[in-house]
Amino acid sequence: MSLDAAEARALAHAEHGDPFALLGPHEGERAGQAGVWIRGLAPGALGLTVVDVEGEALAEAEPVHVEGGVFEAFVPGQTRAQLLAAGYRLALTYPHDHRERVEDPYRFGSDLGELDRHLLGEGTHLRPWTVLGAHPRTLEGVAGVRFCVWAPNAASVAVIGDFNTWDARRHPMRAHPGLGAWELFIPGVEAGARYKFELRLGDGSRAQKADPYAFAAELRPATASVVAALGAPRRLPKARAEANHRRAPMAIYEVHLGSWRRSSEGEGFLDWDALAEQLPAYAAELGFTHLELMPIAEHPFDGSWGYQVTGMFAPTRRHGDGEGFARFVAACQDAGLGLILDWVPAHFPTDAHGLARFDGTAFYEYADPKEGFHRDWNTLIYNFGRTEVRNFLVGSALYWLERWGLDGLRVDAVASMLYRDYSREPGEWIPNAEGGRENLEAIAFLRRLNEVVGAHAPGAVTLAEESTAWPGVSRPTDAGGLGFHYKWNMGWMHDSLAYMAKDPVHRSHHHDQLTFSLVYAFDENFVLPLSHDEVVHGKGSLIAKMPGDRWRRFANLRAYYAFMWTHPGKKLLFMGCEFAQEREWNHDVELDWWLLDPARCEGHGEHRGVQALIRDLNGVYRGEAALHARDCEPEGFEWIAADERETSVIAFVRRSGPAEDPASRCVLVVCNFTPVPRHGYRLGLPEDAAARPRWRERLNTDSAFYGGGDVGNGGLELRVEDRGAHGRARSIALTLPPLATLILEPA
């Protein structure tokens, strides 16, 4: 049966919701003769002929909508199966005698398997990215790309791109009723092609959207998705999995790739290969165990630092393509570094090409702004209660870990996910089904996330940026926790930085800010973070926070770093802080590497001294089990002097195991946070430490090597004496340098 005028018009204007019902081969009859109707779309074409694989004409098509390029032909005497088995092509004639012979996209059946359909429908597909998105395929011997997008409330969807002059009339997609997905295989499209989806919305308007599951995208400010082949999974090497264990040392170097270093001209970003050559070697030489990259998923605005993501499956084009990123990952692991990715499932930007009202409805976000809009960041909040959204986010997490072989994900803004009243006044939020402030859907999502990571990405870890006292963030889900491996210790960071910012003369009144963290230090598996958030938005650099003259500021910072490296918990330091960059971080320019150049900073070697200290702290931390094996367990820590407020001195012991275990190693740590040297300071020793008759300095932050005054106990054996101190029967006497931290080990 020939198309009627209404059907032809709907096809011509890309308004038909079920194009496969009309296009391609369909059995029928004409004038009482059985055969196959073949209908095609070719806007701008003057004619269309159905030809066999040899190019011989089978039937001339008639235009049924000239302006829209809708043609139909009738091939008599054949069944659809016979025609498909023999093969056919569409021969197109355009003005100026331009001719093309193309495959008919509408002769191919659906490439969605029943199992995929079932898992997508119930929201339990662990790897939805293998189905949705753009995938190079060869179907029936024909190479092309299978496109699939989830848009259940769209009236129709078309693929637009380089390959069809961005014309939605040319490639309308197959609808999958009940599933909400749209699918189309387009022959001849290759990797590297740019594309989007054009959706006709319920109100008749249209929206052009980037692919939520795209594996690549254009460089901003362009916004199209890019076809890219899906690489093979990369299993995390066994050595890396062991290095992520909570009893292993973890010293993380946090990096914003766009401003770590710039190109030789100082303006452009380094590509993945340049980063692979420079960054892993630098971090490894300083002794860090892991790199943490601020978000590298595709994002439109540099000033968001990557935290407003539009491509949850696409490494940013700013540094090159996915193959380059794979080489960068390999370079990190070859250098013995774990790679952690900052991952953002809490919110997304409102950009028109992104997820906002994707199919004309609040599909990815909560519909009510009281649930779905972040006023702090002007972003939208994912609807964690929606099956498709949870599938999308959990799939994204597993994709980065499984496909790229990453060591872990640092999950951003967890606190904002857990509470419905986060940053909202009374009346500006909607209680949960039980009347409470907790976001029960987000809690369920986070638990599901961590269970999937644990089961399907063994050895990989998740770290929560969670700033409240929510219990059990790093407790297993079967014990009632959220299931993260680690939690950022924001309380330690805020308290200790506030303490260090005070003039030493006032510190005696704020001693608890230094010691309170040990009250809860083992409630979670903590990471101690000095992150990018502490050196931006007017907060100044870490060295700028320190009080006093130049000498005191550097001495304070060195003492603080050693306190951090010896405090229970894994470590994280933002780039530039390792050499005490003096200006606030600016994402638009590279770090002030010139501060490390002796020719440019003659007589000011303090920056090189701080860098040397970080190198040595990492070496001591990694090499001494007492400083990392029990980072997350109370057996690894004991106070010696916690209450010496007037002198601002603290002292403690770190152990690799219980004190009663003779195989347990221990080190002593003493911090003097005043500019007064203390000679003959008597330090009481616990029994296991007193059993080691002689002690010596392992590290002194006042060493001249680090830019200090060289006050201390270098080269001296500190003998244990039968003299009481700090409630202990035995002690050692030592010199405490001013504004310094000592690490002591058995001689």
Whole-angstrom Cα distance, residue 384 to residue 377?
18
Selection from 513, 527, 530 nearest residue 581 by Cα: 530
Q: From residue 64, how far is each of 9, 38, 67, 89, 105 by CA, in Å?
A: 9, 12, 9, 19, 19
The one-letter code for the residue type at 383 is N
Residue 614, judged by CB atoms within 10 A of its CB (0-12, 13-18, 19+), counts as buried
pLDDT at 669 over 80: yes
Whole-angstrom Cα distance, residue 505 to residue 360?
61
Whole-angstrom Cα distance, residue 165 to residue 206?
17
Topology match between the domains 238-488 and 492-746: no
Selection from 587, 451, 435 nearest residue 443 by Cα: 451
Own/partner contacts of 256-259, CB < 8 Å, gap of 24 or more, are 256/294, 256/305, 256/306, 256/532, 256/575, 256/585, 256/587, 257/293, 257/294, 257/296, 257/318, 257/319, 258/302, 258/318, 258/587, 259/585, 259/586, 259/587, 259/588, 259/589, 259/590, 259/591
Annotate 523-547 with b (16+ C-beta within 10 A) or e (fewer): bbbbbbbbbbebbbeeebbbbbbbe
Whole-angstrom Cα distance, residue 334 to residue 348?
34
pLDDT at 266: 57
List, for residues 452-476, the tens digit of each pLDDT value.
999 999 999 999 999 999 999 999 9
pLDDT band at residue 505 under the 50/70/90 scheme: very high
pLDDT band at residue 66 under the 50/70/90 scheme: confident
Whole-angstrom Cα distance, residue 430 to residue 444?
18
Whole-angstrom Cα distance, residue 38 to residue 524?
65
pLDDT at 265 over 70: no
- Do residues 608 and 596 lie in contact, with contact meaning Cβ atoms separated by under 8 Å? yes
pLDDT band at residue 255 under the 50/70/90 scheme: very high
pLDDT at 239: 85
* pLDDT: which is higher, 237 or 573: 573
Segment 312-318 shows an average pLDDT of 97
List, for residues 90-108, the tens digit of each pLDDT value.
999 999 889 999 999 999 9
pLDDT band at residue 603 under the 50/70/90 scheme: low
List, for residues 344-398, the tens digit of each pLDDT value.
999 999 999 999 999 999 999 999 999 999 999 999 999 999 999 999 999 999 9
Segment 284-303 shows an average pLDDT of 97
pLDDT at 264 over 90: no
pLDDT band at residue 216 under the 50/70/90 scheme: very high
User: Token digits for 116?
Assistant: 């995929």
| CATH of the domain spanning 5-107 | 2.60.40.10
pLDDT at 1: 58
pLDDT at 123: 86
pLDDT at 48: 96
- Do residues 78 and 35 lie in contact, with contact meaning Cβ atoms separated by under 8 Å? yes
Annotate 353-381 with b (16+ C-beta within 10 A) or e (fewer): bbbbbbbbebbbbbeeeebbbbeebebbb
pLDDT at 491 over 90: yes
Q: Structural domain boundaries of the chain?
A: 5-107, 114-226, 238-488, 492-746
pLDDT band at residue 140 under the 50/70/90 scheme: very high
Whole-angstrom Cα distance, residue 499 to residue 510?
7
Segment 56-72 shows an average pLDDT of 93
pLDDT at 263: 87
List, for residues 169-187, the tens digit of each pLDDT value.
999 999 998 899 999 999 9
Strand extents, DSSP E, 285-431: 290-293, 297-298, 311-315, 338-343, 347-348, 373-374, 379-381, 408-411
pLDDT band at residue 267 under the 50/70/90 scheme: low
pLDDT at 3: 85
pLDDT at 485 over 60: yes
Segment 674-678 shows an average pLDDT of 97
What DSSP string runs through 344-387? --SEE---TTTTTTTTSS-SSB-SSHHHHEETTTTEEEB-TTSH
Class in CATH terms, 492-746: mainly beta
- Do residues 626 and 655 lie in contact, with contact meaning Cβ atoms separated by under 8 Å? yes
3-class secondary structure per residue, 610-653: HHHHHHHHHHHHHHCHHHCCCCCCHHHEEEEEEEECCCCEEEEE
- Mean pLDDT in the chain? 95
The one-letter code for the residue type at 159 is V
Q: Which spans in 459-541 are helix H?
A: 490-500, 512-515
Whole-angstrom Cα distance, residue 255 to residue 243?
20
Q: State which fold the 114-226 domain adopts.
A: Immunoglobulin-like (2.60.40)
pLDDT band at residue 604 under the 50/70/90 scheme: confident
pLDDT at 568: 98
Query: Which listed CATH number (3.40.228.10, 3.40.50.10680, 3.20.20.80, 3.50.30.60) goes with 238-488?
Result: 3.20.20.80
User: Token digits for 222?
Assistant: 């362009």
pLDDT at 235 over 90: no
| Active-site residue list | 412, 465
Selection from 451, 473, 471 nearest residue 463 by Cα: 473
**In the chain, pLDDT over 70 holds for what percent of residues?**
99
